[in-house]
Amino acid sequence: MGHIKWRGWDVDGRFQACGGTWGDARKATTDILLGGVEHGTKRYPPCPHAAGPYPYMSGGMVCMSRPLALRMARDEHFERFLALARTRNTHGTPCKRPNQCAEQPPDVHMWHHEDAGIGFNVFRAAVAGNASLNYIAVPAHYNDAGIIERSEPLSPVDEYWSTRAVFAHGIKFPGHFRLIKQKWKLSRPDAAFDTLQCWPTNKLPRGANIHYGNWPWARVPCPQTVGVGRFCDVNVSSHFKFCAMPWVIPESIKNWTGAAEAARKAQEEWNVWRKASDRQAVKMAAKRAAKRAAKRIAKRRSEEDGGGGGSVEAVRRDVARWAEMKRDV
């Protein structure tokens, strides 16, 4: 649950992710075999020690089926992985910055990438056990409460997905907690699992997230009994599938949303028309007042000049006043 990313993992106790970081399965494959770009234009070399690529939940909550959890608990490789990681993380030199942690020598490197490490072990165990595994994308909040709750107040569509989402990761600051208390409530998600759709890993259905497919190749450490080299290719489609629940909004919500949107647009159009009408009415009233004032001025000038229609200078003053009134309007 959360946001799927792709990685390679340096094997033989190195505890270091290599390749991936962003992009889909094909990009992670290129990173492992040929090297890639990390943040902007900085390039990094190929990953000769890396297995993969494999998908993992970036900082997300990983929910496993009971058979998969039992397989992981009984996996001898995973037991050795955890024992070595526990020793190094207990007695190793602490580090806080990612680049500083990555520079630790391989023989003392601690396990920092908890999400990528779990993803690697799930991937490797499924292949080693000749098992079949489905990666299922569940509607989830990623890094804060505002990912789905974008509208204020909540629109019917946002409320529909918010009430069916599972929180995954990232409540780190007091502001997040305040937002959670304000907007969220705990309940059992009402996800429509009967609409679950699955497809082969080398495919990518129309409308699916680019991270959920186009996975044609991967490699894992070869079993010692094989003796054909360090890594063996994986027939990915024989072990894995991707699944997702389409983000399909019920017709009732669609109709309600459409009606609400139509009402909102109608209100906006009315407000625009009313403002324009108000401005036009004010403008016309100002013009009428200016004309009345001009007439009164002309009449007074005429009376001052003995009824002769006013002097040339008086007419000029009237014209100037009239022009000033028009500018004010």
- Give the percent of the chain with pLDDT over 70: 65
219-221 β-sheet, strand order: 16-20, 4-10, 50-57, 219-221, 231-233
Nearby residues of 139 by Cβ (< 8 Å), 6 or more positions away:
161, 164, 165, 166, 189, 191, 245, 247
pLDDT score of 309: 47
Is the model's pLDDT at 126 over the cut of 90? yes
User: Quick one: tokens of 117?
Assistant: 């490490």
pLDDT score of 188: 65
Instruction: Report the C-alpha gap between 78 and 305 in whole angstroms.
Output: 110
Residue 9 pLDDT grade (very low, low, confident, very high; cuts 50, 70, 90): very high
pLDDT score of 219: 96
The least confident of 20-24, 57-61, 226-230, 303-307 is 303-307
Residue 223 pLDDT grade (very low, low, confident, very high; cuts 50, 70, 90): confident
pLDDT score of 271: 72
pLDDT in tens, 173-182: 787 777 777 7
pLDDT score of 329: 47
Instruction: Report the C-alpha gap between 218 and 178 in whole angstroms.
Output: 43
Residue 30 pLDDT grade (very low, low, confident, very high; cuts 50, 70, 90): very high
Highest average pLDDT, of 68-82, 160-174, 206-220, comes from: 68-82
CA 208 from centre of chain: 14
The residue ranking higher by pLDDT, 264 or 230, is 230
- Give the percent of the chain with pLDDT over 90: 33
Nearest Cα to 60, choosing from 6, 140, 117?
140
The residue ranking higher by pLDDT, 57 or 60, is 57
Q: Residues 189-193: what's their mean pLDDT?
A: 61
Is the model's pLDDT at 46 over the cut of 60? yes
Helix 251-304 crosses helix 312-328 at what angle (to 10 degrees)? 170
Say how many C-beta atoms besides its own lie within 10 A of residue 322's C-beta. Answer: 15
The residue ranking higher by pLDDT, 98 or 132, is 132
Residue 142 pLDDT grade (very low, low, confident, very high; cuts 50, 70, 90): low
3-state secondary structure the chain: CCCEEEEEEECCCCCEEEEECCCCHHHHHHHHHHCEECCCCCEECCCCCEEEEEEEECCCCCCCCHHHHHHHHCCHHHHHHHHHHHHHHHHCCCCCCHHHHHCCCCCCCCCCCHHHHHHHHHHHHHHHCCCCEEEEECCEECCCCCCCCCCCCCCHHHHHHHCCCEECCCCCCHHHHHHHHHHCCCCCCCCCHHHCEEEECCCCCCCCCCCCCCCCCCEEECCCCCCCCCEEECCHHHCEEEEECCCCCCHHHHHHHHHHHHHHHHHHHHHHHHHHHHHHHHHHHHHHHHHHHHHHHHHHHHHHCCCCCCCHHHHHHHHHHHHHHHHHC
Query: Under a CB-based contact definition with an 8 Å cutoff, are residues 245 and 195 in contact?
Result: yes
Is the model's pLDDT at 307 over the cut of 60? no
Which pTM does this prediction carry? 0.69
